Amino acid sequence: MPDVFIGSRRNHRITCDGPVCIALMKRGAFPKESISFFHKRMREHLFFHFMVTYIAERRTMINGFTQPEKILIHENLELVKYYPYYKRTLPWYQDPGLCRQVDNWEEPYDLDRLKRMYRFLSKNGECYYIKFREHGRWHLVGDISLCRGAVSIVICREYQNRGIGRSAISGILRRAGQLGWRQVKAEIYSFNGQSRKAFLAAGFRQTGEETFVYGSGVLP
């Protein structure tokens, strides 16, 4: 059965087919924000690109490239290939404030929803943990993904506003360049000022109300 996700933001994913998804929306199964975003994309004739993602095939979306186990950014920061570690990651997504930054509503994730999110990101792109060294010890402080031409990032609350996100974005852009991507997009809510600043500082430019783009030719 295919995974269906609503929009391009990371939590708008359920496991059902397109018609069932629409039926559930009509019954009020999803937040109003998701429904309005769905209709917006429908009007833009982007239903297939934004709404239905088939992950029956076992290979990742980025064909022909092996995901590295680690991407070194600097001596105190690296990206580590995703592996299940829900004891650490579930608390991030149970923070209502962080959920609002990412998804525009404050409903915490449960374990099943978190697993589906990471499974989707891993099967359709490359997902990494952000690993930061502080006082000689390494900590997982967030995650970052390249998926379907876009980058998404989450930094847990206690490590926000420390320049980690900006550095992680720069590192993932280098990876996108290695993959031959000519352009990378990000969708960021208008109220998420700190995330917008991080992406702009990393070289993105705003091209729409909530759309930011990096690159026009082959990335470095």
Name the domain count of the chain. 2
Q: Are 124 and 23 in contact (CB under 8 A)?
A: no
Q: Do 27 and 89 belong together in one domain? A: no
Q: Do 184 and 121 belong together in one domain? A: yes
Residue 219 in domain? no
The residue assigned the tokens 């592996």 is 83
The pLDDT, as a whole number, for residue 133 is 97
Average pLDDT for 46-62? 36
pTM: 0.73
Residue 79 in domain? yes
Task: Tell me the CATH number at 138.
Answer: 3.40.630.30
How far is residue 25 from each of residues 20, 28, 41, 143, measured CA to CA in Å?
A: 9, 5, 15, 29
Residue 65: which pLDDT band, with cuts at 50, 70 and 90?
confident
The pLDDT, as a whole number, for residue 219 is 56
The residue assigned the tokens 């105190």 is 76
The pLDDT, as a whole number, for residue 64 is 76
Q: Do 84 and 39 belong together in one domain? A: no
Residue 94 in domain? yes
Q: Do 175 and 102 belong together in one domain? A: yes
Q: Do 83 and 183 belong together in one domain? A: yes
Residue 125 in domain? yes
Q: Do 75 and 171 belong together in one domain? A: yes
CA dihedral in degrees (95, 97, 103, 104; nearest 10)? 150
The pLDDT, as a whole number, for residue 142 is 97
Residue 62 in domain? no
For the chain, the maximum distance between any two Cα atoms, rounded to a whole number of angstroms, is 52
Q: Do 178 and 97 belong together in one domain? A: yes
Residue 37 in domain? yes
Q: Are 145 and 151 in contact (CB under 8 A)?
A: yes
- Ordered alpha helix ranges (H), 104-163: 111-123
164-191 pLDDT, tens digit each: 999 999 999 999 999 999 999 999 999 9
Q: Do 191 and 102 belong together in one domain? A: yes
The pLDDT, as a whole number, for residue 39 is 47
Average pLDDT for 1-26? 39
Residue 65 in domain? no
The pLDDT, as a whole number, for residue 1 is 40
Q: Which residue has the higher pLDDT, 130 or 101?
A: 130
Q: Do 122 and 160 belong together in one domain? A: yes
Domain enclosing residue 43, as ranges: 3-53
